[in-house]
Amino acid sequence: MHALRTFVRATLATGLVAGALAAPGSALAADADVALVSVTPTAAGATAGEDFTWEITVSSYGPDATAVTLTDQLGEGETLVKAEPSQGSCTQTAPVTCSLGAVAPAAFATVRVTVKESKGGTVFHSATVAGADADVDPSNNTARGNVEVSDPVAPVTPKVKTGVTDVNNQVSLRFTADVTSETVGALHFQYGATKAYGKQTSNVVVPGTGYGTLKAKAGGLGINTVYHYRAVLVVDGKTYLGLDRTARTAPVSWPKNVKIKATVGRTSTLVSGTVVRPAWVDAPGACSGKIGIVVYTLAGSNLLVKQTPLHADCTYSLRIAFGTAQARAAGKKGFVLPQLPRQPRDVAPGLDLAQDLTGTASRS
């Protein structure tokens, strides 16, 4: 029978067989071999709790297979989401039954079955196909595939940890926080003289990429003052609070090796002094450059900023419009602070005023 079957297929292909041999209803016409070619996972892996799609392929190895029916029982732990055939129709309940109609030799009909996986491990998914005609090889009517299903990754709960301040100036602090979040959010810091805080920084965007350190600055602070602060993280409408910490702004400081004398009058002050050079600096013009004079209040407000040149003998003097009357008007005691220029030039080989003349000074 198999030899005759092979001959009939060959002669049908060349048109040499009389029409009677392939007449509908004859033994030769019923010599069908519908086959389930494959049950294929459409991705390398699946995740429990998520949708996953199988592609099931049907073909015919003989004459037209008629009234082809596919049955899919689904795998263990799988729940049907939908079944989509390339031809015909499928039920949308498990077990899935698809009426695919006729499938011609060497043609393919496919069914995409989408399921929701419920548990981790190896999941096997099998299906069976049958036609209306007698099938000469039922061994190829069933196929199965398998996929590794991983357990779902537990969502990361956003976390925030108030960090130390990495910048402590006289009038500003820069706060830091360690943030863990896989969702975009916002971070700010509350701060104030007590745990009641009362003020907050501007928001900083939390990128939602996992772990990172974020920073924000608070300005206009009082000099040498202790502040309470904490980080506040907002993600998906929920607020997460860091612990309270404290930081102190910097105290009044005087540049190293700078002597200052202030002769204060009612409406003006004569500021004078000397820059004491290191003993090894003997190059001509070592005191070239400028020195800055800043008048400020304990709250950190700059009231007046002036610069004056350093003389060749390292002395300086400058009269500023700030006396006792102005100090009283400021509401708090005024201070005179000598500052080196922001970008001093090298006054001798290896000597940079910004590096060598900073720190604490003496008054004379």
Q: Transcribe 177-238 into DSSP letters.
A: EEEEESS-EEEEEEEESSTT--EEPPPEEE--SEEEEEEEEE-SPPTT-EEEEEEEEEETTE
Residue 24 has pLDDT above 60, yes or no: no
CA angle 97, 100, 101 (to 5 degrees): 130
Find how far residue 113's CA is from the centre of its chain: 34
pLDDT tens, position by position, 113-152? 999 999 899 999 999 999 998 899 999 999 999 999 998 8
Instruction: Determine the Cα–Cα distance for residues 236 and 91; give it in Å rounded to an integer.
Output: 40
What's residue 20's pLDDT?
30
Instruction: Determine the Cα–Cα distance for residues 19 and 12; give it in Å rounded to an integer.
Output: 9
What's residue 3's pLDDT?
32
Task: Note whether 56 and 88 are within 8 A (CB).
Answer: no
What's residue 362's pLDDT?
30
When comparing pLDDT for 356 and 75, which is higher?
Answer: 75
When comparing pLDDT for 16 and 325, which is higher?
Answer: 325
Handedness of CA 316, 319, 324, 328 (dihedral sign): negative
When comparing pLDDT for 28 and 16, which is higher?
Answer: 28
Of 18-22, 58-62, 69-73, 203-207, which gets the smallest average pLDDT? 18-22
Residue 8 has pLDDT above 60, yes or no: no
Strand partners, 204: 187
Residue 10 has pLDDT above 50, yes or no: no
Residue 25 has pLDDT above 80, yes or no: no
CA angle 166, 168, 173 (to 5 degrees): 85
Torsion of CA 51, 144, 108, 84, to 10 degrees: -30
Buried b vs exposed e over 133-164: b needs ≥16 C-beta within 10 Å? bebeeeeebebebebebeeeeeeeebebbbbe
Strand partners, 318: 271
Which one-letter amino acid corresponds to residue 233?
L
| Mean of all residue pLDDT scores within the chain | 79
Strand partners, 70: 98, 129
pLDDT tens, position by position, 171-190? 889 999 999 999 999 999 99
pLDDT tens, position by position, 256-310? 677 778 788 888 888 888 877 655 445 555 566 777 777 766 666 667 778 888 8
What's residue 294's pLDDT?
72
Residue 22 has pLDDT above 70, yes or no: no
Region class of 331: left (phi > 0), else alpha (psi between -120 and 50), else beta? left
pLDDT tens, position by position, 338-349? 554 433 333 333
Beta-carbon contacts of 107 under 8 Å, excluding residues fewer than 6 positions away, are 59, 60
Structural domains in the chain, CATH included, are: 32-150 (2.60.40.1510), 166-248 (2.60.40.10), 258-363 (2.60.40)
Q: What one-character-per-residue DSSP string does 313-324 give?
A: TSEEEEEES--H
Residue 320 has pLDDT above 90, yes or no: no
What's residue 186's pLDDT?
97
Of 79-93, 197-211, 305-319, 326-340, which gets the smallest average pLDDT? 326-340
Structure tokens at 221: 């602070």
What's residue 301's pLDDT?
64
